[in-house]
Structure 1
Amino acid sequence: MKNLQESLEGLHEHYLELLKNVNRVLDVNVEMLKNQKLDFGLYGECVVVEDVINALEVRIKDDAIISIARFQPAAVNLRLLIMMINSARLLERMGDLLKANFSIIKDIERNSPHIAKYLQSMLYPMVLKIKNIFEMYVKAVIDNDEKALYLLLTRDEEIDEISHQNMNSLTELMKASPDNVQGGTDLVLLNKNYERFSDHVMHLVVDLVYILKGENLRKIELLEEKKLSKK
Structure 2
Amino acid sequence: MRKMLPRMSAESLPQSLDELPVDAKDFLQLVSVDFTGTYHVYLAAKDERIKMTRLSMSLLSAPFAAAVALASAKVVNPLALTSWATVPWYLFATVTAFGLLSVVPFLRLIEAVNAHMRTARAINNFRLLYVVQLKDHFSGLGWSPNLPVDPRYPETYAPLAWPGINVMMLALVNSAYIAVGALGLAGAEPTPTLLVLIIMLLALVHYLVYYVRSNVSRQRRLPQNPFHFPNVET
Question: For this structure pair, what is the TM-score category when the shorter chain's length is used for normalisation?
Answer: 0.3 to 0.5
TM (norm. structure 2) is: 0.32
| Bigger Cα Rg | 2
Higher RCO by CA contacts (8 Å cutoff, separation 6 or greater): 2
Q: TM-score, with normalisation over the residues of structure 1? A: 0.32
